[in-house]
A and B are shown apart, each in its own frame.
Chain A
Amino acid sequence: MAKQGEEGFLGFLELHDRRRRHAGSDRRRRMEDSRADGRNPNQLRPFSCTRNPLDRAHGSARWAQGDTIVLAAVYGPKPGTRKGENPEKASIEVVWKPMTGQIGKQEKEYEMTLKRTLQSICLLTVHPNTTTSVILQVVGNDGSLLPCAINACCAALVFAGIPLKHLAVAIGCGVLEDGEVILDTNKAEEQQLKSFAHLVFPNSRKSASSKQPNQKEEDSERGLITSITHGVMSEEDYFSCIERGLAASSRISDFMRTTLQKQAAGDEELKAVV
Chain B
Amino acid sequence: MSLHLAVALDGAGWHPAAWRAEGAQPDRLFTAGYWADLVIEAERGLLDWVTFEDSLSLQSSRHDQVLGRLDAVLLAAAVAPLTSKIGLIPTTSVTHTEPFHVAIGIASLDYASKGRAGWRPRVSGRPDEAAHFGRREVPDLDALFREAADAVEVVRRLWDSWEDDAEIRDAATGRFIDRDRLHYIDFQGEFFSVKGPSITPRPPQGQPLVTALGHSTTPYEFAAANADVLYVTPADRDDARRIAGEVRELNPGLKVFADLVVFLGDHKARLDDLDGAPLESDAHVFEGTPAELADLLLDWGFEGYRLRPGVLPHDLTAITRGLVPELQARGAFRTAYEAPDLRGRLGLGRPASRYARVS
Question: Are A and B part of the same complex?
Answer: no
